[in-house]
């Protein structure tokens, strides 16, 4: 008779061994969202941002897993997780975003939505960058908690198609092929790294131009002072 493995002997893989099937656009949008959210919560010690990793939700059952594109978990410490074990962390993600595609649209709209609702994920957003599979291409749901298990209710979009996140205080709005996030408290957008680099280079260029203008002005002042001194001597 074969021995039954102990729970702590169960392996929870970091990968399913299959090549990634996402498009370049899907990966870029997903990575951009993880980046801006990670930067936004960088100095908040008990909020962790991750994505594109396995979330295991049943101890002892490595088949009970899901791979969210983007997730925000409140109330846990920051460290570089490679997988997320729900029973160890003790916290369900407060927000999950799926960047949907032709391959994932059915699972995102049906399977994952049902699972996230059952697990108690407070907010669930779906974004279709090119608008090929979802109408509207940004959709969101919040968990309305009842007497037993909560049920998802659609978030009401604004005129511009934006949605307000209740758990993060962020505004989500389609912008071109990307999903722009804005801090509603200060009204400022969260910048992607490319925008940060552009702003940094513009600031450096402005400092350089100001330094050159200051140097030219100083040279002109010195030349004028020298000319005044020459004129005094000729009197």
In the chain, where are the structural domains located? Answer: 7-190, 193-235
Q: Which residue, 19, 8, 231, 28, is CA-closest to 129?
A: 28
Residue with the larger pLDDT of the pair 235 and 152: 152
- Residue 176 has a CB neighbour count (10 Å cut-off) of 7
- Range 9-14 average pLDDT: 92
Residue 3 confidence (pLDDT): 53
Instruction: Return the structure tokens found at 107.
Output: 């699972």
Q: Which CATH class is domain 7-190?
A: alpha beta
Instruction: Decide if 190 contacts 39 (C-beta within 8 A).
Output: yes
| 3-state SS class at 210 | helix
pLDDT over 70 (residue 106): yes
Instruction: Decide if 135 contacts 105 (C-beta within 8 A).
Output: no
Instruction: Return the structure tokens found at 130.
Output: 């090119």
- Residue 208 has a CB neighbour count (10 Å cut-off) of 10
Instruction: Decide if 72 contacts 168 (C-beta within 8 A).
Output: yes
Residues 104-131: b if buried by 16+ CB within 10 A, e if exposed: bbeebbeebbebbbebebbbbbbbbbee
Instruction: Return the structure tokens found at 152.
Output: 């998802």
Helix (H) or strand (E) segment spanning residue 113: helix 112-119
**Mean pLDDT rounded to a whole number for the chain:** 88
Q: Which residues pair with 179 in a beta bridge?
A: 174
Q: Which residues contact 226 (CB under 8 A, 6 or more apart)?
A: none
pLDDT digits (tens, 9 = 90+) for 154-169: 999 998 899 999 999 9
| 3-state SS class at 228 | helix
Site of tokens 């490679």: 82
As a whole number of angstroms, the distance between CA 137 and CA 163 comes to 11
pLDDT over 70 (residue 8): no
Residue 113 confidence (pLDDT): 95
As a whole number of angstroms, the distance between CA 172 and CA 184 comes to 10
pLDDT digits (tens, 9 = 90+) for 178-223: 999 999 989 899 998 888 777 666 566 566 667 677 777 777 788 8
Residue 219 confidence (pLDDT): 79
């Amino acid at each position: 008779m074969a021995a039954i493995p102990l729970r702590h002997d169960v392996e929870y893989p970091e990968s399913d061994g299959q090549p990634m099937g996402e498009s370049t656009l899907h990966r870029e949008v997903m990575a951009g969202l993880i980046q801006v959210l990670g930067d936004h919560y960088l100095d908040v010690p008990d909020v962790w941002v991750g994505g594109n990793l396995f979330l295991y939700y049943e101890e002892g059952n490595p088949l009970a897993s899901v791979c969210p594109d983007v997730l925000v978990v409140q109330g846990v410490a920051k460290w570089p997780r490679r997988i997320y074990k729900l029973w160890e962390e003790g916290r369900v993600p407060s927000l999950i975003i799926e960047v949907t595609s032709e391959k994932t649209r059915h699972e995102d709209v049906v399977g994952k939505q049902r699972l996230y609702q059952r697990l108690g994920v407070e907010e669930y957003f779906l974004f279709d960058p090119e608008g090929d599979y979802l109408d509207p291409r940004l959709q969101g749901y919040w968990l309305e908690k009842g007497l037993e298990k909560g049920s998802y209710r659609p978030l009401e979009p604004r005129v511009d198609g934006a949605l307000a996140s209740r758990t993060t205080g962020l505004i989500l709005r389609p912008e071109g092929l990307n999903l722009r996030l804005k801090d509603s408290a200060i009204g400022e957008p969260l910048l992607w790294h490319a925008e940060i680099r552009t702003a940094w280079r513009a600031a450096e260029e402005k400092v350089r131009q100001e330094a050159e203008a200051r140097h030219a002005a100083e040279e002109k002042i010195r030349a004028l002072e020298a000319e005044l001194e020459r004129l005094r001597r000729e009197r």
